[in-house]
Structure 1
Amino acid sequence: MSLVSNNIKYLRRLNGLTQEQFSRKIGIKRSLLGAYEEARANPNLTNLKNMATAFGVSVDHLLKNDLRRLRETPDLGIPFNPAFKPMAPLIKDDAPSAPQPLSAIVNKFQPPKPALRMVAKQVALKPVRPEKFERSATPITPFTANAPLTFNNHYEENGATKSAPPIEVKAPQQTIQWVKRGQANEYLANYQDTAFLNRLPVFQLPNLPSGHYRAFEASEDFSFPGALLVGSFVRNWYEIKDGTHYALLIKNTGVISRKVYNQVKAKGILLLRSDDPKRSDLELPIRDVLEVWEVKSFVSQTMPASKPSHENLKKILGNLRDELNRDTSSGGFLS
């Protein structure tokens, strides 16, 4: 079951409505409502708005929040009206009409017959040229991320073998939109504006699965300040993993990149921890979070500092031990 399907079923039962009653009130079939509640289909935007209006919640809360839990924790600031009365029916609950003949029902849904077109002159129909296709013996080119997948077909015509044009299958696309540091305030104001998002620079990275990503510039909270953090969108707050780096869009603040610890169920907050031990932790109320992007990759011009090898450490300790032994054997002492 998905989060949306659980919310729809929970709110419908909370208001004492059957599937038949609620489906008629929002103008859809009962079977479609059942598919929504069983997560066999996703509601479109119009049906989402109608259901959210009927229940007295926003579409955003219906998509992102587990309303069963949020109702038990009202401190999260999610509006909820337990005294909700069902809205007026969007379609009329007309009394069942008298039975109609089957022929009348069939004729109602029959498409209109096309009008006959009179042809002034006789039309000569040419026979279709027979073409015999057979599987190519040439091996198929392996799929790569940078080249389309092609298939070659051969057919015979008048005893000669000819090749048909190859069929191209496009490779899955990878899109990374880049939000520059100087665009932080503009992004905060237009993060839901499609026109603004379409103007963002787009690039790709090798070895990154296909999909839609967004890149943000890291602050001093990251081990490599100034690095480009590439993240995938997180739709459910409860899927945030402890100790994982995320880029978060915060209300009235902008983008913050830190390690996140999920305390939504216990306190309704996210605990943000910097890679810099000198910086204190932040407790962020979940109601102030506008977007969450899980960091999947990063690009940095700073190379990590090299760590001393175990062999070098053993050699240094051995030299110190030898020096201490020489001082002890010569009667010296350490002050």
Structure 2
Amino acid sequence: MSFLASNLRFLRKQKGITQNELAEQLDVQRTMISAYEDGRSEPKLATLQRIADLLETGIEELLEHDIERLGRRAIQKRNIQILTIATDQNDEENITWVGQKASAGYLNGFADPEYMEQLPQFHLPNLAKNATYRAFELAGDSMLPLISGTIIIGAYVDQLQAIRSGRTYVLVTRTEGVVYKRIFNYLEENGKLFLVSDNEHYKPYEVKGEDVLEIWEAKAFISTDFPNPGDKKKALSLEDLGEMIKDIQLDLQRLKG
């Protein structure tokens, strides 16, 4: 089954392009765009490639993947970005610290070298030398036993598909801001990531792969809170989290049905 008609209509509207505007860019009649979107006609290969380029997708995704229902698939294979790195006077990489108050500004300034230079920087021993690190200060109690104010040291991940289910990451996203969660990777199935809190009082939620700006895999943390051996709180296991996700997905399917 070809998804060309529905994908063309969905991506065109998503970009805010009218049928007339798309027709002008493709040098065809507007009625041809209407016919493509109604499934009454299909473009020749050369035109199809131009459509894919204009809508920033691939021919295979455009024809074979239900983008509106399942989310983008091509986004999984791109690099997240060119990373802005701070260095010291010896040209060694610093760890830049993004505090709670700086999180909102970081969304707009993470690619700006001047902004990044203004943030606090430090070094830590015993970290692998083959990675770039950044520090993020937690807010709230969604990832207990790590409390608000804990600093997560994350190693940069440059590919969405490199996210490993069940591990914790700091994600910088267009929709949710800067968040630290346990991630389950469903990009191959529906183009989305499932974000789960270790504190069971917080509900899991989904983020589209295309909304992810940066990924940092948690490697260490700094905290002034010492663990209490008498604390009987039990952290959720990966098996518990997996079962929770299955239950939530079944509920979502029932609601959609």
The TM-score, its normalising length taken from structure 2, stands at: 0.55
CA separation of 1:242 and 1:79: change in aligned 2, threshold 3 A: closer
Q: Structure 1 vs Structure 2: percent identity of aligned residues?
A: 29
Q: Name structure 2 gaps, 5 residues minimum.
A: 1-51, 76-89, 232-257
Correspondence for 1:300 among 220, 223, 239: 223
Equivalent residue, structure 2, for 1:250: 173
Equivalent residue, structure 2, for 1:173: 92
TM superposition shift of 1:77:
4.5
Asked whether the 8 Å contact 2:73–2:187 carries over to 1, the reply is no
Equivalent residue, structure 1, for 2:199: 276
Correspondence for 1:213 among 133, 136, 142: 133
Asked whether the 8 Å contact 1:176–1:204 carries over to 2, the reply is yes
Equivalent residue, structure 2, for 1:193: 112
Q: Name structure 1 gaps, 5 residues minimum.
A: 1-53, 62-66, 81-170, 309-335
**Equivalent-residue separation in structure 1 for 2:225 and 2:119 (angstroms):** 25
**Equivalent-residue separation in structure 2 for 1:268 and 1:228 (angstroms):** 29
Asked whether the 8 Å contact 2:73–2:191 carries over to 1, the reply is no
Equivalent residue, structure 2, for 1:286: 209
Is 1:204 the equivalent of 2:204?
A: no
CA separation of 1:306 and 1:69: change in aligned 2, threshold 3 A: farther
Partner SS, residue 302 of structure 1: coil
TM superposition shift of 1:252:
4.1
CA separation of 1:179 and 1:200: change in aligned 2, threshold 3 A: same
Give the root-mean-square deviation of aligned CA atoms. Answer: 3.1
Q: Which moved more, 1:267-276 or 1:284-293?
A: 284-293
Matched pairs, number: 160
TM superposition shift of 1:260:
0.2
TM superposition shift of 1:240:
0.2
Asked whether the 8 Å contact 2:95–2:122 carries over to 1, the reply is yes
CA separation of 1:278 and 1:261: change in aligned 2, threshold 3 A: same
Equivalent residue, structure 1, for 2:162: 239
**Equivalent-residue separation in structure 2 for 1:181 and 1:260 (angstroms):** 21
CA separation of 1:190 and 1:172: change in aligned 2, threshold 3 A: closer
Q: Deviations over 1:274-295 (max 9, x none)?
A: 0101111111111221111111
Higher helix share: 2
The TM-score, its normalising length taken from structure 1, stands at: 0.43
